[in-house]
Structure 1
Amino acid sequence: PPLIHFTVLANLLVAVAFGWSAVRSWRGAPPLPPYLTGGMLLLAAITALMHHLVLVNYPETPAPGTGWSLAATLLLHTVTPLAVAADWLLLTAPRTLRLAHIPLWLTAPAAYLGLVLTRGALLSPGSPTRYPYPFLDVDTYGYAGTLTQALALGLLFTALASLITAVDHIRPNVAGWIQHRGNRISPPAAGGLK
């Protein structure tokens, strides 16, 4: 089932966050807190990087196919992560992410690991898609090997989260520049669009 894949779950979380952000914007509420936007960026980056750098190198990974399957693969692994990165870069204020946010961000991949291992233990051996990713396959690597690989990935995700936080502190304030320009139809003190 597709819902067990990290890609699908991460994209669902991103969709909920974007929807919530749109509602808040429409109501005139403040934007989402930085710990949420940073977390969504990390999930999107993990999704894209794991697909493009890791999964494509596993022979067990099915090819994306054609038609809807190819479109879904492109949307979930490339388009959405790029949209999340563009949203973060263009529409959020810089220098708001903190190293203290990283443990919170890593709870999603850690919870996913727990879900996959618990689900795999409950399904009978030989069940199709018992372990949705080859590097989390306990039947192949055992628990020690799987947890070692998961720990290595966790360290890489921590480094990626640290990189995102560092980039946040040196990136330009594009969002502030966009807000400062204002709308071109009404003068600055005239209120909304006329």
Structure 2
Amino acid sequence: MRFVAGIWRLLTAALGIWALKTVWGLPHVWTYVNVQCTVLIVFVMLWSSAASLIHGQQPPAWLKGGVTVYALLLVVGSLTVIPSAPLDVASVPVMRLVGLGVPALMHWVVPGMVILDFLLFDPHHRLKALDVLVWLIYPAAYVGFLLVRGTWMPHAGPGMGGSSYPMAFLDPTLLGWSQFGVSCLKVAAATLALGAVLCLLDRAMPERPVLGAA
């Protein structure tokens, strides 16, 4: 089944690349967390696909688990915070694929395939409790990136009114610093919670992949 896993992962990466292709010439759009997460997903899934197809070394468990956590965050964010944020997706030339646009690919299809990959093709009992803390590094780095960019280029877009903060729930100029801090804590809490759930699920599932060798 490792060839099936390899093809699944290659398809996941291909859909991610397809979505990224539509925003390639729009640098300000790359500030969105879904775009950055898609880049990470493509990298890890290409690595994992190649390893499956040629029986090579798979990505480390903490990295594969981290990508799965970020995929979960994208799905949860799509259901809660992100739809209410001023996402200027109208500026993105949407390329259609089986009736789905870029937002659907980045928020639902590609993350969903990553989650299914973890459930069906990954071996389990590999994640460690400390991995949850490692997975906080990217959200913290992303917030730092937003703050630095917002200070140096306050009107670079793609937020509403030309704001350099792409999402309202992480825009200190809109929320104020206290509420911005609360939003950051919510992101950290969501990452920790989903990471803990993933670790528990990893422990609860059979050690061998559900659909055979990865």
Normalising by structure 1, what TM-score?
Answer: 0.82
1:74 is matched with which residue: 73, 91, 104?
Answer: 104
The alpha carbon displacement at 1:17 in A equals 0.4
Report how many residues are paired.
179
Q: Compare relative contact order (CA 8 Å, sep 6+) and give the higher one, 1 or 2.
A: 2
> 1:89, 1:174 within 8 Å by CA — same for their partners in 2?
no
**5 Å matches for 1:4-153?**
4-58=31-85, 60-62=86-88, 68=95, 71-124=101-154, 128-153=162-187
Q: Percent identity of the aligned residues?
A: 24
Corresponding residue for 1:162?
Answer: 196
One-letter code aligned to 2:113: A
One-letter code aligned to 1:8: V
CA distance in 2: counterparts of 1:10 and 1:85, whole angstroms: 14
> 1:90, 1:174 within 8 Å by CA — same for their partners in 2?
no
> 2:155, 2:163 within 8 Å by CA — same for their partners in 1?
no
CA distance in 2: counterparts of 1:63 and 1:5, whole angstroms: 10
My pick for the range that moved more, 121-130 or 156-165, is: 121-130
CA distance in 2: counterparts of 1:5 and 1:172, whole angstroms: 36
Larger radius of gyration: 1
One-letter code aligned to 2:195: A
My pick for the range that moved more, 48-57 or 9-18, is: 48-57
Normalising by structure 2, what TM-score?
Answer: 0.75
Unpaired stretches in structure 2, ≥5 consecutive residues: 1-27
Map Cα deviations across residues 40-82 of structure 1 (whole Å, 9 max, x no partner): 1011111121122212234x34577996375111110000111
CA distance in 2: counterparts of 1:57 and 1:63, whole angstroms: 13
- Structure 1 residues 27 and 120, CA gap change in structure 2 (3 angstroms): same
